[in-house]
Structure 1
């Protein structure tokens, strides 16, 4: 069925980037990043209060099993993300970025609100964990297409030579969410007793996060469609369309390269930001607020670090930056964890968090631009969504559960370091051995062929 485009001013922006005003570009940047920020705010809050959520919704009488069930529910949101990525990515490539982003912000807000309002197991029994599971599935499906569509919107608004810099604002939104979520967590854990946290305190951030939904929808609904998408649609004379089989046949190599780009960064991100608070409490036996303070500072550093990394990638080539940064991280991951474990103090945890933050900024700041560079406009959202979500599901969303389980089985607290080293080698192999990665390393300005 042919997709139609109703006559709306927002659907027909100026065809060229040169004719866009600064206010239009600023509005597009804000519309792109606001949903990603909400996504990360919700994810991080869930991780920070994992022990409390376990007690509220999974009171099985065994602390380790209860936490595992909570992290398993957290992981479910990632398991459904590739499905959401395929469906929503294809939808965004057919009807446009603006309409898709407007729909996604409402879905995310609804799932966040459900999480914050669901009564505990003591009130409604088995319905409580089932509703939490539903909220995670809803969020997983919606965010399956969120990162890719927003990244496409950002880079398609960016002038040539600034794709990595513009794309880095998608990562900056994660840093802002990191600051806000950890600040919420630090404030609540510092000012509320355990009973208050369990009864209502942990819900406050979810309810506040849900308020972003209507504001985000308004901003996204008013933004103009991506100039590159409009140009493609006018050139084709109809909505872009491609079968999944055709996509894999033509873009399989690019998809593997894209997964390689993401794997080491997402493993680092989820271990140091989502899993670290739990690790600090259970393995290092330090107060939760120590980890949350370092996480908040990490977010502040990243707000500056991501755009600087994007600028550097535009200057020297993102794929040329990727290899040395990843190799350095593989080399220092073990000594960094070993140093913290040798004498677990708040000072050492904080120092290690800062080192990881600097490396992660250099590594992940260019990610949105790097991914969108691999795929042409007609399949960009599909390609980025599929690659990104598979990589994030396998090495990011499942990382807390995987590492926590391996620590329990092996009894070794150094497991996170081994996990990061493994992720680094996988990334280096996928990017280094694919034709797409080799081409972009030779020619940083190479574009995907339509």
Structure 2
């Protein structure tokens, strides 16, 4: 291979700063958030229908085992998510984010739709749970590239000073999708009644995935590639290292050894966020109805009210993180989880509606601290050329732990008989969050790693350029001061040696 001479860094000028088109940014957020909403629509429906799905697909088991089996079917697909992350991550770094996200959303839509088509155990026996598992595995494979790609898509389209606010809309889509799923289950239950919901009504929410998927495909297919990835490809072509059809490969081993600190931060943040997420939004409905014997309808309404509140808090945290940084929310949310989870579960177990609501509200606010900043942190800690691969792999390996949360907690509560096991579980996870928050670097108001700055307009670009120069000047002054101090130390040492005068 021919070696190239190392050149000096060129001064940054106004034309080097990417100006983000506001219309394209809004379309990118809508397209990305819709896929995430569809993913969590299924999670919401599955979580709120878990007791019915247990009866439909595992009728010979006891009610407790039915619940655990249904939640286990929810958790098993997480085993294939890392594989999906590897495949779609590599494809995303090679061919672009837009193309891969168009593929993941259609696989997710078709597999979710197929769940509604599966006959019951009474009709086809053991093939019913097997087909359910296969559909969930297909979901897991596609989701392996979905969230990571969507977060990258939004981050690479966002101006540096608004990345927290823009990224927060991705998980706004998650909450909205979950809320839509849960609300739809409540609506069906009230319209159809328990008997018809059990017989055939539970299939209807899964059928909605197909039209939603085609809408998402249309929106994503109409978008251009992200500015950051296109800039990366253009730079490769300019340097004549590679053409547009064949990009240099970075091995998974190289990613693991070179970016292990970023991978560790990703793993820690995803674990604390998603364990809290699945605990509150997937497990708690079953916990309220099955373990606390609370009215299923009342439990659903309380959690739906909590999620509506989360929708308003979510973008506010993203916006605030652009002002004060992301780290305060990760550290503060983790400390809050450690200190307030047990009191929250005392209120949840009080059998009083007001206290149950307050306990769930505490968990929801702490969850908002994480999901409000996660989508803006994760893409920023990896460089463009390996961003999709590194994020998708580390994200989905972490989700292996988080995805087991509903099953693990259901088993722990059933085995120990201790209704506070969910609180202890979250407190252990909180420690991981605290360590992660302390170790991570601040990413707010900074360019994505390896990318040039991005601004909303030319006026903002001028401000960024001015601050960039001010920062350089300050660093030069600091270095000059350090040199003076070193020169003084050098002279002091020379004065102490007779032969160095």
CA–CA distance in structure 1, aligned partners of residues 336 and 126 of structure 2: 47
Does the CA contact (< 8 Å) of 1:15 and 1:230 recur in 2?
Answer: no
For the pair 1:269 / 2:269, whether they are aligned, the reply is: no
Q: Deviations over 1:61-95 (max 9, x none)?
A: 32222222211111111111111111111111111
Please, which moves more after superposition, 372-381 or 239-248?
239-248
Residue 231 (structure 1) shift: 0.3
Q: Deviations over 1:192-248 (max 9, x none)?
A: 332211111111111112220111111111111100000001111243531111110
Q: Tell me which residue corresponds to 1:6.
A: none
CA–CA distance in structure 1, aligned partners of residues 316 and 426 of structure 2: 24
CA–CA distance in structure 2, aligned partners of residues 161 and 279 of structure 1: 41
Of 362, 386, 393, which residue of structure 1 is paired with 2:400? Answer: 393
Does the CA contact (< 8 Å) of 1:50 and 1:70 recur in 2?
Answer: yes
CA–CA distance in structure 2, aligned partners of residues 15 and 301 of structure 1: 41
Q: Deviations over 1:392-434 (max 9, x none)?
A: 2202x110000000001111001110011011112222443x4
Structure with max Cα Rg? 2
Residue 124 (structure 1) shift: 1.2
CA–CA distance in structure 2, aligned partners of residues 303 and 179 of structure 1: 9
Q: Tell me which residue corresponds to 1:324.
A: 332
Q: Tell me which residue corresponds to 2:252.
A: 244
Residue 449 (structure 1) shift: 4.9
Q: Deviations over 1:333-364 (max 9, x none)?
A: 001101221x2233322222222222211222
CA–CA distance in structure 1, aligned partners of residues 259 and 126 of structure 2: 44
CA–CA distance in structure 2, aligned partners of residues 36 and 321 of structure 1: 22
For the pair 1:445 / 2:446, whether they are aligned, the reply is: yes
Q: Tell me which residue corresponds to 1:153.
A: 153
Does the CA contact (< 8 Å) of 1:275 and 1:400 recur in 2?
Answer: yes
Of 346, 354, 371, which residue of structure 1 is paired with 2:361? Answer: 354
Q: Deviations over 1:254-281 (max 9, x none)?
A: 1111111122221111111111110011
Does the CA contact (< 8 Å) of 2:340 and 2:362 recur in 1?
Answer: no
Residue 318 (structure 1) shift: 0.3
Across the aligned residues of Structure 1 and Structure 2, the Cα RMSD in angstroms comes to 1.9
Residue 253 (structure 1) shift: 1.2
Residue 446 (structure 1) shift: 7.3
Residue 60 (structure 1) shift: 2.0
Q: Deviations over 1:321-344 (max 9, x none)?
A: 311221022100001101221x22
Please, which moves more after superposition, 89-98 or 381-390?
381-390
Q: 1:196 and 1:16, CA in 2 relative to 1: closer, same or farther beyond 3 A?
A: farther
Residue 190 (structure 1) shift: 2.8
CA–CA distance in structure 1, aligned partners of residues 190 and 151 of structure 2: 36
Please, which moves more after superposition, 296-305 or 278-287?
296-305
SS at match of 1:60: coil
Of 285, 288, 298, which residue of structure 1 is paired with 2:306? Answer: 298
Q: 1:15 and 1:240, CA in 2 relative to 1: closer, same or farther beyond 3 A?
A: farther
Of 399, 410, 418, which residue of structure 2 is paired with 1:412? Answer: 418
For the pair 1:136 / 2:136, whether they are aligned, the reply is: yes
Q: 1:387 and 1:92, CA in 2 relative to 1: closer, same or farther beyond 3 A?
A: same
1:275-286 superposed matches below 5 A: 275-286=283-294
Does the CA contact (< 8 Å) of 1:190 and 1:289 recur in 2?
Answer: no
Q: Tell me which residue corresponds to 2:432.
A: 426
Q: Tell me which residue corresponds to 1:235.
A: 235
CA–CA distance in structure 1, aligned partners of residues 92 and 268 of structure 2: 23
Q: Tell me which residue corresponds to 1:9.
A: none
CA–CA distance in structure 1, aligned partners of residues 174 and 186 of structure 2: 18
SS at match of 1:131: helix
Residue 444 (structure 1) shift: 6.9
User: Which residues of structure 1 form unaligned runs of 5+?
Assistant: 1-13
1:58-77 superposed matches below 5 A: 58-77=58-77
Does the CA contact (< 8 Å) of 1:164 and 1:314 recur in 2?
Answer: yes
Does the CA contact (< 8 Å) of 1:148 and 1:385 recur in 2?
Answer: yes
CA–CA distance in structure 2, aligned partners of residues 303 and 44 of structure 1: 15
CA–CA distance in structure 2, aligned partners of residues 178 and 345 of structure 1: 25
Q: Deviations over 1:369-413 (max 9, x none)?
A: 111111111111122212222222202x11000000000111100
Aligned residues: 429
Runs of 4+ aligned structure 1 residues displaced above 6 Å come to: none
Q: 1:431 and 1:256, CA in 2 relative to 1: closer, same or farther beyond 3 A?
A: farther
Does the CA contact (< 8 Å) of 1:260 and 1:428 recur in 2?
Answer: no
Of 348, 352, 375, which residue of structure 2 is paired with 1:345? Answer: 352
CA–CA distance in structure 2, aligned partners of residues 297 and 387 of structure 1: 33
Residue 188 (structure 1) shift: 2.1
For the pair 1:205 / 2:205, whether they are aligned, the reply is: yes
For the pair 1:52 / 2:52, whether they are aligned, the reply is: yes
User: Which residues of structure 2 form unaligned runs of 5+?
Assistant: 1-14, 452-501
Q: Deviations over 1:95-152 (max 9, x none)?
A: 1111011101110011111111111111111111111001100000000110010100
Residue 291 (structure 1) shift: 2.1
Please, which moves more after superposition, 140-149 or 174-183?
174-183
CA–CA distance in structure 1, aligned partners of residues 319 and 248 of structure 2: 31
